């Protein structure tokens, strides 16, 4: 089960309670101070392809050119003019990559190895040439150099090599290409964009000064305008959220993809007429992605440097969420082995009966990453990343792994895969039909040896079942009897339902309950205790659904693939809510009072969705 099918399990949970791996673009792409179009396109595209869903971008206001640039220093207008007139055709000449980039027409192919714009021999034989740009008498800039290197024209300023065309539009263009290429229900995912705001340095000093009031961004080049240019059709905005919260009956509750279980995660106010509203609720990913508008992204301000404090962001308020909306940063401490010693949201001694409010948008930087060049590193998880996810906290990779994501995407793929909380590494295996018990290896169990992660299991084996208590997200019971998967429903005691976790935090509480049951009933288990979770591919191999009698909504063949791409919301309704229909949350009554409830590696060819038959 890939990240995409794990996505299906979380689709009915409000987005602020679902963990997603996050990454800093500055650390992953620009650690060598080469701010080029090639690096940005290759790096960001690779990060998206390997599963990062929260992207942190550092933007620098270049007051001299009135541009939101990615380069930390201002580029002299004379250098920018020279660069703008040059032919820009970039290529990646080193390291593996998941993409090919042709900057002339700015196309993106997320499934191929990089296709050089110039022949490799031409690149190898070309020499680096420089041209000094002399600053004018009134300029505060030191002399800059035009550098022609590997087919791309750069401007060398201070310690940075920058493309004058690399700005916020470059980023939004890449994101738009990605969202368009993943617009079918199999690959669609939700993205979170956080913009850190800085002033570009305007001298040889690395210190940036505040731009004069007359040189601050105008309404024409406000951040909201820049985002809307490429992403307006994908953005779920603060204004839309406010409107939806005021009338839940007409917004989320009326959406065919909404299930009332999501109401348990936020405060609801009901008036005498049964009109529902919320002051703090967030929609589910299913409502956003597969609703009539097909929203795919949220944007927020991150840090805003003092030099840019006078930037009037009021015009951005209808399109961009306020500072650090998605950054509920938690202070986390680690042991030397990557275990979390403090800051975890999971507490084995106290099972909460309501959603944890401090889990909303919880995020923490990853501080311990082993050597990516060590032997067999790819066949294991990064402990600090896995443990953060199990704690209900989104891991933020804000350090450079190996040589950066533009050169070594595998290091970041490793980090992203470590954030999977459901299946253990290498699962579910794709067994050949010649395997003796392949016909029965269609179910999933949680095992103690895999620290609560799931493994492919013969459905005819006998194990205890995972039973959710009432409508509680974190309260579980283990069935007293041990039977085959098909008897899961009958094994669960009254007021419980055979089910599967929907988030990493839910999975942690279920695993804690399994360990308690093993401790009190050791005679019921062998050395490696296993527990059924309600997930199977009995109907069609590799098509994972919840419920013993649930049919796979897909059939193999080109016609089905074509229909999948065209009928986006219809297919989503089938696959997602076959799962969601089995969620056991109690429905919210109209007169409810105000309450607080609260791998597969695919290499250079991209990624297969393992929840769909091939």
Once rounded to an integer, what is the mean pLDDT over residues 599-604?
33
Q: What is the pLDDT of residues 18-53, one digit of tens each?
A: 999 999 999 999 999 999 999 999 999 999 999 999
Residue 116 pLDDT > 50, yes or no? no
Once rounded to an integer, what is the mean pLDDT over residues 8-13?
88
> What pLDDT score was predicted for residue 536?
92
CA–CA separation, 44 and 50 (whole Å): 10
CA–CA separation, 468 and 449 (whole Å): 22
Give the 3-state secondary structure percentages of the chain, helix then strand then coil, rounded to 5: 30, 20, 50
* Confidence bin at 166 (pLDDT 50/70/90): very high
Q: Which residues pair with 539 in a beta bridge?
A: none
> What pLDDT score was predicted for residue 110?
35
C-alpha dist (Å) from residue 538 to 485, 497, 510:
11, 20, 24
* Confidence bin at 185 (pLDDT 50/70/90): confident
Residue 491 pLDDT > 70, yes or no? yes
Residue 162 pLDDT > 70, yes or no? yes
> What pLDDT score was predicted for residue 172?
97
CA–CA separation, 311 and 306 (whole Å): 10
CA–CA separation, 530 and 446 (whole Å): 5
What is the number of alpha carbons within 13 Å of residue 24 lying toward its C-beta?
A: 20
> What pLDDT score was predicted for residue 372?
63
Residue 371 pLDDT > 80, yes or no? no
C-alpha dist (Å) from residue 81 to 36, 75, 159, 199, 220:
16, 10, 20, 21, 21
* Confidence bin at 4 (pLDDT 50/70/90): low
Q: Is residue 179 within 8 Å of 234, Cβ to Cβ?
A: yes
> What pLDDT score was predicted for residue 368?
76
Lowest mean pLDDT among 80-94, 104-118, 168-182, 374-388: 104-118
Residue 433 pLDDT > 80, yes or no? no
- Top pLDDT among 305 and 371 is at 305
Lowest mean pLDDT among 274-278, 431-435, 497-501: 431-435
Q: What is the pLDDT of residues 296-349, one digit of tens each?
A: 999 999 999 999 999 987 889 989 999 989 989 999 999 988 899 999 999 988
CA–CA separation, 432 and 429 (whole Å): 9
> What pLDDT score was predicted for residue 259?
79
Q: What is the pLDDT of residues 496-534, one digit of tens each?
A: 999 999 999 999 999 999 999 999 999 988 889 999 999
pLDDT over 70 for what percent of the chain? 75
Residue 590 pLDDT > 50, yes or no? no
Q: Is residue 393 within 8 Å of 386, Cβ to Cβ?
A: no
Q: What is the pLDDT of residues 549-578, one digit of tens each?
A: 988 765 544 334 443 433 343 333 333 333
Mean pLDDT, the chain, whole residue set: 79
> What pLDDT score was predicted for residue 146?
84
């Amino acid at each position: 089960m890939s990240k995409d099918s794990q996505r299906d399990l979380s689709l009915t949970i409000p987005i602020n309670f679902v963990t997603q791996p996050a990454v800093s673009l500055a650390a992953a792409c620009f650690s060598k101070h080469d701010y080029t179009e090639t690096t940005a396109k290759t790096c960001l595209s690779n990060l998206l392809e390997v599963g990062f869903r929260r992207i942190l971008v550092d933007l620098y206001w270049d007051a001299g050119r009135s541009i939101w640039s990615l380069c930390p220093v201002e580029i002299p207008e004379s250098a920018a003019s020279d660069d703008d007139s040059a032919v820009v055709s970039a290529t990646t000449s080193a390291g593996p990559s998941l993409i090919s980039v042709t900057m002339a027409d700015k196309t993106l192919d997320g499934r191929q190895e990089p296709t050089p714009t110039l022949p490799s021999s031409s690149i190898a034989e070309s020499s680096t040439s420089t041209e000094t740009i002399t600053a004018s008498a009134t300029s505060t800039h030191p002399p800059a150099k035009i550098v022609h290197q590997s087919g791309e024209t750069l401007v060398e300023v201070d310690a940075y090599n920058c493309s004058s065309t690399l700005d916020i539009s470059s980023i939004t263009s890449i994101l738009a290409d990605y969202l368009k290429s993943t617009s079918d229900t199999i690959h669609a995912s939700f993205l979170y964009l956080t913009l850190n705001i800085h002033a570009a340095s305007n001298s040889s000093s690395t210190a940036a000064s505040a731009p004069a009031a007359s040189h601050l961004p105008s309404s024409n080049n406000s951040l909201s305008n820049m985002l809307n240019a490429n992403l307006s059709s994908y953005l779920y905005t603060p204004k839309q959220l406010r409107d939806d919260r005021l009338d839940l009956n007409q917004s989320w509750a009326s959406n065919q993809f909404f299930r009332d279980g999501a109401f348990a995660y936020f405060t609801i106010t009901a008036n005498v007429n049964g009109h529902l509203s919320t002051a703090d609720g967030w929609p589910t990913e299913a409502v956003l992605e597969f609703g009539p508008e097909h929203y795919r992204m949220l944007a927020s301000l991150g840090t805003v440097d003092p030099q840019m404090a006078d930037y009037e962001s009021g015009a951005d308020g209808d399109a961009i969420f306020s500072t650090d909306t998605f950054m509920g940063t938690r202070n986390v401490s680690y042991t030397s082995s990557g275990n979390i010693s403090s800051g975890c949201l999971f507490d084995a001694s106290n099972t909460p009966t309501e959603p944890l409010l401090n889990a909303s948008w919880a995020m923490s930087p990853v501080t311990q990453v082993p050597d990516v060049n060590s032997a067999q590193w790819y066949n294991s998880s990064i402990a600090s990343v896995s443990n953060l996810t199990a704690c209900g906290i989104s891991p933020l990779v804000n350090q450079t792994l190996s040589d950066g994501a533009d050169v070594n995407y595998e290091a970041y793929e490793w980090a992203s895969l470590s954030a999977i909380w459901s299946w253990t590494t290498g699962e579910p295996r794709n067994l050949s039909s010649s395997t003796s018990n392949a016909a029965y290896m269609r179910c999933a169990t949680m095992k103690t040896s895999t620290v609560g992660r799931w493994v492919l299991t013969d459905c005819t084996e006998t194990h205890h079942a995972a039973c959710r208590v009432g409508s509680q997200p974190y309260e579980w019971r283990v069935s007293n009897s041990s039977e085959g998967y098909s008897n899961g429903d009958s094994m669960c005691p009254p007021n419980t339902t055979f089910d599967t976790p929907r988030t990493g935090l839910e999975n942690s509480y279920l695993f804690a309950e399994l360990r308690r049951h093993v401790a009190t009933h050791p005679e019921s288990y062998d050395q490696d205790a296993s527990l059924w979770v309600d997930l199977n591919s009995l109907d069609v191999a590799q098509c994972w659904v919840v419920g013993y009698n649930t049919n796979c909504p897909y059939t193999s063949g080109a016609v089905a693939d074509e229909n999948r791409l065209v009928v986006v919301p219809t297919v989503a309704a089938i696959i997602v809510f076959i799962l969601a229909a089995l969620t056991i949350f109690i429905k919210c009554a109209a007169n409810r009072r105000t309450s607080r409830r609260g791998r597969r590696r695919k290499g250079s060819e991209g990624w297969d969705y393992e929840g769909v038959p091939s």
